[in-house]
Structure 1
Amino acid sequence: MIELKNIKKTFKSNKKLITAVDGVSISVKEGEIHGVIGYSGAGKSTLIRCVNLLEAPTEGEVLINGENLLELSSEELRKVRGGIGMIFQHFNLLQTVTVYDNIAIPLKLSGVAKKDLKVRVEKYLEIVGLSDRAANYPSQLSGGQKQRVAIARALSLEPKILLSDEATSALDPETTDSILDLLLKINRELGITILLITHEMNVIQKICDEVYVMENGQVVEQGPTLELFAKPEHPTTRKFLNTISQRQLSDTLIETLNVSGAVTRLTFVGQSTGKPALAEISKRFAVTPNILAANIIELKNGIVGNITVHLEGDAIALKKALNYLRDVGIRIEQLGGQIR
């Protein structure tokens, strides 16, 4: 449904040419939720604004349902944009009108018939859980409620695609969870395709089918969310994962423990999370496991468990134990020592 091909976007600043996005390609299938994650300055905001041509790319193609937006007339582009909703970090609500009118005014401007307007506004206020707030002004709402109004406004135009530009970054964790639950509900019940950008790994964790990690204007790693959580390759991806799981141990601790064994990170995916693997290697190979850190991460499409463990035993026993763990489907990352 959404396909970005080799997108490049450059700006001029103080006579210097700055490349904000550098050769990025993304493909989002209908009905899926994809996330782009990166630190500030990675280029993710510029990228998402290229989808509806709020920013026209310097090079590349922007395809919506196979149609290249860069080849459309102004009128044709306006029609395509009508099927693309967008929500922002700071809500962009009109402060001097009610919640009802914040949704109704864009509908009037888009030509929705008067007889349909009230039905449309009430329908989407109910979907976002704010039917009782229609007469309130934005100043009377919490941050989460304001974002729900912004979502209702975007949905009221009945788009097939919803773009989310850091929609939860100004919210507290509990409110963030409620907004993410709402986006999941919208995706499942209305079938809307969602592309979001964020710097919060928990957002990716909870709702995304696929993830793209950006750095310096480029996608440095991408793939199904379950795969990236289970086996991150790029240092930036690993940094993001460290923010939500106990994956990081000091080099000094690892060096100390490796003298008497091996420090290893074990990653369990899906059904392997229920296997008593450490108990088995203790019984079979005379290897003593000492758990240093552990966590289980629930993703939209599966479960990933990580255990950082110090394995004590002689070299032959350790090697047999690690081979056994691989054979039963557990991914192994040795953090130090010579045993492979």
Structure 2
Amino acid sequence: MIKLTNVSKHFHTRTGIVRALTNVSLEVQKGEIFGVIGYSGAGKSTLIRCVNLLETPTSGTVEINGTDVTRLPKHELLAIRRKIGMIFQGFHLLKTATVYDNIAIPLRLMDVSQQEIDKRVGKYLRIVGLEDKHDAYPSQLSGGQKQRVAIARALAQEPELLLSDEATSALDPETTESILELLLTINQELGITILLITHEMNVIQKICDRVAVMEKGEVIEQGRTVDIFANARHSTTKRFVNGTYHRELPPSLLRELRENGPVVRLSFVGESTGKPVLAAVSRQFDVSPNILAGGIIQLKQEKIGSLVVHLQGEGEETKKAIAFLEQQGVYVEEMERGHV
């Protein structure tokens, strides 16, 4: 559906060149929800704006359904943009227009017939749950309702691809949850591919099939969401993942425990979740597992179990125990700092 190959974007400023993106490559498959996460300044917004060419890449290619859109003349690019919907953090609603008109005006500019406009506005207001807000003005709506209108406006163009630029970051947790559920419904029932950017790992956790992690304009890690949560490699990715568990060990306690064996985080996915592996460790090796913390997180389609365990024992025995755990399909990460 979307393929970015070695995309770079540089901005020339008074103080020099700002390298917003550097050789970014990723693919978004048709029908999936793909998330891009990173801290402020990572290049996420520039990346998503390069997909529909609101920003033109300095170098690299952007393909949509096999067509390199960076090489298209304006009239052909316009036709492709009409199949790409976009929703923003700030809603971008016209304050003096009703909900109906906020959705209808872009369709009028596309020369859609009035009969078809009425049909689409009604259909997509039903989908976002705002049938009764047809004649309301934005000032009469809550933040979540405004975002639902913005989503209905994007859907009314009947796009194949929906781009979400921090669409939930201005919303409270309960409203965020409802918007994420709506995006899931749109993806599953309408078959629309979604590419979203966010700085919130809970957004990735709840609805994304795959994820790319960005830092300083580069993609530092990407893969299936379940693999990233279970076995993050890069330190930045680990910070995002660890933040979903909200657990810390005091550094002094960690240092004390490690004098008698490693402290490890065990992640259980799939078949490994049903195995009594810690009981087996204590039977087969001269190691005493001590569970320090644990929890389960629900991803879009799978659950991941996580335990923080002190493997008390001598070096060779604990190494054998860790190797055994890995053979059983458990992801093992030795903890070196207090954040687990």
TM bin, normalised by shorter chain, reads: over 0.9
The corresponding residue for 1:64 is 64
**Aligned AA (1:107):** L
Please give the TM-score of this superposition, normalised by the length of structure 2: 0.95
Identity over the aligned pairs, expressed in percent?
60
| 2:222 match | 222
Taking the TM superposition and a 5 Å limit, the aligned residue runs for 1:72-83 are: 72-83=72-83
Matches within 5 A, 1:229-240: 229-240=229-240
Question: Structure 2 CA distance, aligned partners of 1:238 and 1:3?
Answer: 26
- 1:2 counterpart letter in structure 2: I
> Is the 1:287–1:321 Cα contact (8 Å) retained in structure 2?
yes
Cα-Cα RMSD: 1.5
**1:76-119 C-alpha deviation (Å, 9 max, x unpaired):** 11111000000000100011111111111111111111111111
The residue identity in structure 2 corresponding to 1:264 is V
> Structure 2 regions of 5+ residues with no counterpart?
none
Q: How does 1:132-151 map to 2 (within 5 A)?
A: 132-151=132-151
Q: Which amino acid is the alignment partner of residue 282 of structure 1?
A: S
Deviations 1:125-153 (A, max 9, x none): 00001111111111111111110000000
Q: Deviations over 1:147-206 (max 9, x none)?
A: 000000000000000000000000111111111111111001111011010000001111
Structure-2 residue corresponding to 1:207? 207
More displaced 10-residue stretch of structure 1: 270-279 or 19-28 = 270-279
Give the structure 1 partner of residue 114 of structure 2: 114
**Does the 8 A contact of 1:287 with 1:317 survive in 2?**
yes
Q: What is the distance in 1 between the residues matched to 2:117 and 2:197?
A: 31
Question: How far 1:289 moved relative to its partner?
Answer: 2.1
Residue 329 in 1 paired to residue 329 in 2?
yes
Which residue is equivalent to 2:159?
159
Greater CA drift, 292-301 or 58-67: 292-301
- Match for residue 93 of structure 2? 93
C-alpha separation between the residues in 2 aligned to 1:134 and 1:122?
8
Task: State the partner residue of 1:307.
Answer: 307
Letter in 1 for 2:188: R
Shift of 1:313: 3.5
Please give the alpha-carbon distance, in whole angstroms, between the structure 2 residues aligned to 1:311 and 1:15.
Answer: 53
Structure 1: gaps of 5 or more residues: none
Task: Name the structure 2 match of 1:298.
Answer: 298
Partners in 1 of 2:33 and 2:234 — Cα distance? 22
Equivalent AA in structure 2 for residue 126 of structure 1? R
Write out aligned runs for 1:270-309 (5 A). 270-285=270-285, 287-309=287-309
Q: Aligned residue for 1:35?
A: 35
Partner of 1:22: 22
2:124 aligned partner, one-letter code:
Y
SS of corresponding position for 1:243: helix
Give the CA deviation at 1:310. Answer: 1.2
Q: Which amino acid in the other structure matches residue 87 of structure 2?
A: I
CA distance in 2, matches of 1:305, 1:19: 39
